[in-house]
Amino acid sequence: MTTTEPSPASSSRLPALARHAAGGLLTLAITLLGLLLVTFVIGRVVPIDPVLSIVGERATEAQYQAVREALGLDQPLWQQFWIYVRDAVQGDLGQSIRTRTPVIEDVARVFPATLELATLGTLIGVALGVPAGVLAATRPGTLSDQIVRLVGLVGYSMPVFWLGLIGLLIFYGQLGWVGGPGRLDATYEMMLEFSMTRYTGAILIDSALNGAWDIFANAISHILLPAGILGYVSMAYISRMTRSFMMTELSQEYITTARVKGMPEWRVIWVHAMRNVSVPLITVIALSYAYLLEGSVLTETIFAWPGLGLYITDALFAADMPAVLGGTVVVGVVFVTLNMASDILYRLVDPRAR
């Protein structure tokens, strides 16, 4: 009876993967610890007294000291930071002064709106940006290349709030093609609250699962413009990077060899070249998605979109520092997670990285 022994290559690969996983987890832990340290320092240096924001200006000295001790602000800074890290690891980001509820509950309530908006914007950016970048790269110097570069430059340079205001003025105010600010009209908001089961917090998904197609259509009319603007900004970045990656690949020798062998041009571009372009493009798309998740504050403010960006903005104006810092921590965690996910996908797609 013979036994199959593991090959040296497979046996040596396991420790390498284990070391990589351990190194990734260590990097993640250090990054999150640094993020908590930054937010902790910001919370201590801003000229806002959290105790005074809670008790009010008419509180007695005894009330002020009692709340200060309850928050642990009478402890040394290192101990305050330890308490802050311990609570954050347990999911306790403090209590919002404005809503009087735990920040983590507020974030869980508003984050699906941001996730829905950023996801749709990214899908629009990828669907338009990748073909536009390929078109520009395969026809360098032509009119189509100039148009793609000009459209990308405008989207890359124009302030998002200006695009949002102009979009509302034209497509909502003048033409009436889209819904106004907010996620739904007031009537549908009541229907959503009392007659529909909430599964994910994303209105498009929940209304489809409930078969509420009237709510779905109204939600589409409201999300189309803000998601389109974010998608345009994302498209500008993705098309620019796709053009650069594709032009680099099309100058490689293996592309010339494929063309000499008589391979169809579409196969040369979309199979051989795109296979290598997709590797760095994964990181570009992940960074664009992270940017839309964390950078849609102005868009959510202009469109009164009840997401994480608007929540942080309102908390900042109300001097609600626990909500501001808690929302910032969540944004940082999302950004780090997306970076790690893109790194994993990068290694899955590119055998050289493994």
Look at residue 209 and tell me if it is in a domain: yes
In Å, how far are 234, 288, 352 from 118, measured between CA atoms? 10, 9, 31
Q: Which DSSP letter does residue 75 get?
A: S
Look at residue 210 and tell me if it is in a domain: yes
10 Å CB burial of residue 25 (0-12, 13-18, 19+) is: exposed
Look at residue 104 and tell me if it is in a domain: no
- 220 pLDDT band, cuts 50/70/90, is very high
Please say which residue of 26, 55, 89 terminates a domain.
89
Average model confidence (pLDDT) for the chain? Answer: 81
Look at residue 69 and tell me if it is in a domain: yes
Q: Does 353 score more than 60 pLDDT?
A: no
Q: Does 13 score more than 60 pLDDT?
A: no
- Domain co-membership, 28 together with 59: yes
Q: Domain span at residue 118?
A: 109-353
Q: Which residue has the higher pLDDT, 172 or 297?
A: 172
- Domain co-membership, 117 together with 82: no
- Domain co-membership, 74 together with 145: no
- Domain co-membership, 185 together with 72: no
Look at residue 98 and tell me if it is in a domain: no
CA atoms within 13 A on the CB side of 156: 15
Please say which residue of 39, 55, 89 terminates a domain.
89
Lowest model confidence (mean pLDDT) among 13-22, 73-82, 97-106: 13-22
Q: Does 10 score more than 70 pLDDT?
A: no
Please say which residue of 25, 56, 89 terminates a domain.
89
- Domain co-membership, 160 together with 238: yes
DSSP string, 116-159: HHHHHHHHHHHHHHHHHHHHHHHSTTSHHHHHHHHHHHHHHHS-
pLDDT in tens, 111-122: 889 889 999 999
Look at residue 329 and tell me if it is in a domain: yes
- Domain co-membership, 113 together with 70: no
pLDDT in tens, 46-76: 766 677 666 666 767 777 777 777 767 777 7
How far apart, in whole angstroms, are the C-alpha atoms of residue 119 and residue 95? 28
Q: What angle do CA 255, 259, 262 make, to 5 degrees?
A: 150
pLDDT at 181: 86
Look at residue 3 and tell me if it is in a domain: no
Based on its alpha-carbon atoms, the radius of gyration of the chain, rounded to whole angstroms, reads: 25
- Domain co-membership, 12 together with 116: no
- Domain co-membership, 193 together with 260: yes
What predicted TM-score, i.e. pTM, was given to this entire model? 0.80
- Domain co-membership, 83 together with 161: no
- Domain co-membership, 56 together with 205: no
- 128 pLDDT band, cuts 50/70/90, is very high
Look at residue 101 and tell me if it is in a domain: no
**Number of structural domains found in the chain:** 2
Q: Does 261 score more than 80 pLDDT?
A: yes
How far apart, in whole angstroms, are the C-alpha atoms of residue 8 and residue 16? 13
- Domain co-membership, 85 together with 120: no
Q: Does 8 score more than 60 pLDDT?
A: no
How far apart, in whole angstroms, are the C-alpha atoms of residue 269 and residue 246? 8
